[in-house]
Amino acid sequence: MRKITQRIATHRIGLAAALVGIALTVSGCGYNTIPTLEEQAKARWSDVQNQYQRRADLIPNLVATVQGYAAQEKNVLTAVIEARAKATQVKVDVSQLTDPDKVKAFQDAQNQLTGALGRLLAVSENYPDLKSNANFLALQSQLEGTENRIAVARRDYIEAVRVYNTALRTFPTVIWAKTAFAGNKPMAEFTASEGSEKPPQVKF
């Protein structure tokens, strides 16, 4: 009986050692790399969306403040409101990051809002009382900080996607990309536009 127990224990130890060896082999050959990089890219996308949402949340108060001093700038105010509405309607969840058209539609909507905001802030130059308003100054500062965070979040997402997409087509991870993760597709990056490497200038 004792010999049988010893054999079972030895078998279990051998099995455990084999499992550990397999786990180390799999992790060492890049099996975990693709899902890890994929999750990192998705997390960076969440950061991008959060920062754009932060900007969208600032806009109603900004528009209301400007309107109090420059109600006659109706066209500019309306353009910002409409651009914000469109930008908040265009959603891209992590399952759609492999669709370049979806990501481009999101980027285009945000770029339109950026342009409308730029025109609104330029108009404020004509209203000294508005420029010295404490609420406007606070919103301006928050918007500037948010634009900087958007730029950082976009940069981090682009880099995370670059690393992930590279892993799908380079050795040794390409082996797993063609087998265990054959359903994984490259993620779409933001398309570069002139001046996109710098956040919009909102200082006065």
Hey, where are the domains in the chain? 1-30, 33-178
Q: Give 145-170 pLDDT, tens digit per residue.
A: 999 999 999 999 999 999 999 999 99
At residue 6, the pLDDT reads 59
Q: Are 139 and 131 in contact (CB under 8 A)?
A: no
Q: Which residues, including other chains, have CB under 8 Å from residue 5's CB and lie 6 or more apart? A: none
Q: Does domain 33-178 fall into CATH 3.40.50.150?
A: no
DSSP count for the chain of H helices, then E strands: 7, 0
Q: What is the pLDDT of residues 128-151, one digit of tens each?
A: 999 999 999 999 999 999 999 999
> How far, rounded to the nearest angstrom, does the alpha carbon of residue 103 sit from its chain's CA centroid?
10
The pLDDT assigned to 202 comes to 46
Where does residue 45 rank: exposed (0-12), middle (13-18), buried (19+ CB within 10 A)? buried
- pTM for this one? 0.81
Q: Could you report the per-residue pLDDT of 30-54, keeping only the tens digit for each?
A: 799 999 999 999 999 999 999 999 9
Q: What is the pLDDT of residues 51-99, one digit of tens each?
A: 999 999 999 999 999 999 999 999 999 999 999 999 999 999 999 999 9
Contact 67, 125 (CB under 8 A): no
pLDDT of residue 142: 97
